[in-house]
Amino acid sequence: MRRRDVLTAAISAAALPLCAGAEKLVAPITRAVRRVRPGEAGWPGAAEWQRLRQAVGRNLIEVHPLFAACPADPKGAACHDVLQHIRNPFYIGDQAAGTQVSGWLDAWTPAASAYAVKARNAADVAAAVNFARDHNLRLVVKGGGHSYQGTSNAPDSLLIWTRDMHTVTLHDAFVPQGCEGKVAPQPAVTAESGAMWIDLYNAVTGKAGRYVQGGGCTTVGVAGLIQSGGFGSFSKGFGTAASSLLEAEIVTADGAVRIANACTNPDLFWALKGGGGGSWGVVTKLTLKTHDLPQNFGGAAGKIQAHSDDAFRKLIAQFVRFYASALFNPHWGEQAAFGADNRLKISMVCQGLTRAEAKAVWQPFFDWVNAAPKDYSVVDKLRAGAGDSRHWWDVIGNDSMNRDTRSGAPEDHGWCQGDQDQVGAFLHGYDSLWLPASLLQPAQQQRFVDALFAASRYKEVGLHFNKGLAGAPAPAIAAAKDTATNPAVTDAFVLAIIADGEGPAYPDMPGAAVKESTARKDAQMIDLATAELRKIAPNAGSYVSESNYFNARWQQAFWGQNYAKLRAVKETYDPGGLFFVHHGVGSENWSADGFTKT
């Protein structure tokens, strides 16, 4: 950046109001009835767009679909380039029109915004927010672009794109603004909202030898995960990512840059901790507390094939008993999947155990399986272990990580091989349920086993143990209760996820064609499997970031008793509804596309 641009940005930022409370709104916010689209009366003219371009240091760009070059020249260099990199999540995130999911059957299709502001700082964000509000535009915010619900894209919109804001700063003794003398200093990390979790893990764990609670997928954006609640592999030990939030900088609908923490704008701070991304404003910076790093991270893995339905029932029952007695604690997280092919796939992780301790935990279960060769075959070696936690997210020399090999890409940017199938996936269906820990009680286990077996007849059921907090330490439970996330998460031992789809199927992508009849059958099987689990958890909540697009009771499922308070916060900071996302707080006041007040 040229020195003149730096000075301009600094001067603009200094001129912005940094407000202490919502009562200091800089201007009344009008309540629009209908937002405008290109070509309609009220759509900004060229001169107005040029003024915005100048205000944001010429970082206003036109946005084109990912495969825009392919219909006219499918063998051309531009089309070849996107095809070559479309399975690289870093590449997708680096495109203004990029979405990490290529769509959802009957739900949404990726669509490019009309323009995007490539924000460099809060001043750029404020300029874009004011422009969208004053011109009655549909506004979209994107950092990592990982939304399964499609909330980080919309046609005919203005996109605020925070990808270029990715600075990470470590603190030895952080105190939130306005909390001096009230809160003890503590180690922390500050990240701009365009940072990905790999950026924080490299800085906090790889270099500083500490731990920050974040997401399991390294290319997820920091801001989006925090606002959704945020689960990672080790959440059973450290709680949600939202629980670690100490302070946020956010541009609200009036264009003001606000600080939100426990002492300043505490209602907004609470809403940001799990109240859903894209509803409250544009987060530009977050500060999270860091934790002492366990000496070891590790896990267990393998696949077991049952030779009959009866043997599979017994395997499910044995695993449930084993989990309840040996794994239901802060050490263990991640997944076990039960398939319609009578296979159990284990992909668990642990923290705070030595290699010998991790192996000893699993040996009884492995012995039980190996003692019944007529009933079971091990189709992928059963194993458990642990190693130095500081190298958990290393990319070079790590067989479990895929490196971003593009020219100029940072050497420490990589993603887990286990996440590869998600890159660009087209979803046929998706659902999730928090299952209560009461199902692990001996008298209730058989109900759980029967429901799990019945559900697996339709579709594979993934049990994500790290996405339910029952079994976590008391401080982690208490911290989660102080967030906007559905309180049901603290009583749930697992998030059951039932989902499926296919490889990338972006609009105009050569060779991509969704067979709708097959996809609809798949979606039906997901619904039937979910219905079996609902029989034992009829009022189960659901994780907002990993949930059913068509959930009719989303307010209760995502936020439970917290929803009424979230609506009040929304009315305080965004009474005009400038910030809209599908099934976000206040979205019931708008049409499905977010353009018309209902």
Integer Rg of the chain from CA: 24
Say which CATH topology domain 168-293 has: 3.30.465
How many percent of the chain have pLDDT more than 90?
A: 94
Whether the pTM exceeds 0.75: the reply is yes
Half-sphere exposure of 84 (CA within 13 A, CB side): 10
- pLDDT, one tens digit per residue, over 572-588 is 999 999 999 999 999 99
Paired tokens of 161: 């794109």
How many percent of the chain have pLDDT more than 70?
A: 95
- pLDDT, one tens digit per residue, over 263-296 is 999 999 999 999 999 999 999 999 999 999 999 9
Query: So what's the pLDDT on residue 316?
Result: 98
Please give the average per-residue pLDDT across 338-342, as a whole number: 98
- pLDDT, one tens digit per residue, over 199-211 is 999 999 999 999 9
What does the alpha-carbon distance between residue 374 and residue 354 come to, in Å, rounded to a whole number? 33
Number of helices (H) and strands (E), helices first, in the chain?
16, 22
- Name the least confident of 21-30, 414-423, 544-553: 21-30
- Name the least confident of 25-39, 112-126, 393-407: 25-39
Select from 328, 350, 336, 349 the least CA-distant residue to 493: 328
Query: So what's the pLDDT on residue 31?
Result: 55
Average pLDDT over all residues of the chain: 94
3-state secondary structure of 118: strand
The residues, any chain, with a CB within 8 Å of residue 90's CB and separated by 6 or more, are: 219, 404, 406, 409, 413, 415
Signed CA dihedral, 327, 330, 332, 333: sign only: positive
With a cut of 70, say whether residue 5 has pLDDT above it. no
Query: So what's the pLDDT on residue 20?
Result: 47
With a cut of 90, say whether residue 13 has pLDDT above it. no
- pLDDT, one tens digit per residue, over 365-420 is 999 999 999 999 999 999 999 999 999 999 999 999 999 999 999 999 999 999 99
Q: Determine contact, residues 263/179, Cβ cutoff 8 Å.
A: yes
Query: So what's the pLDDT on residue 164?
Result: 97
Domain 296-393+414-554 has CATH 2.60.40.10: no
CA angle, residues 18, 22, 23, in degrees to nearest 5: 105
Residue 509 has phi, psi (to 5 degrees) of -75, 120
Domain-wise residue ranges, the chain: 3-164+567-589, 168-293, 296-393+414-554
DSSP state of 206: I
With a cut of 60, say whether residue 29 has pLDDT above it. no
Query: So what's the pLDDT on residue 33?
Result: 85
Query: So what's the pLDDT on residue 405?
Result: 95
Q: How confident is the model at residue 27 (pLDDT cuts 50, 70, 90)?
A: very low
Domain 168-293 shares a fold with domain 296-393+414-554:
no
3-state secondary structure of 341: coil
- pLDDT, one tens digit per residue, over 151-176 is 999 999 999 999 999 999 999 999 99
Domain 3-164+567-589 in this protein, CATH class: alpha beta
Q: Determine contact, residues 188/213, Cβ cutoff 8 Å.
A: no
Taken as a whole, the chain contains a residue count of 598
Q: What are the Cα distances from residue 418, in Å, to 296, 345, 571?
A: 20, 13, 41
Burial pattern 314-330, b for ≥16 Cβ within 10 A else e, equals bbbbbbbbbbbeebbeb
With a cut of 60, say whether residue 4 has pLDDT above it. no
Residue 237 has phi, psi (to 5 degrees) of -95, -35
- DSSP bridge pairs for 292: 210
Query: So what's the pLDDT on residue 19?
Result: 53
Q: How confident is the model at residue 30 (pLDDT cuts 50, 70, 90)?
A: low
With a cut of 50, say whether residue 529 has pLDDT above it. yes
What does the alpha-carbon distance between residue 211 and residue 291 come to, in Å, rounded to a whole number? 5
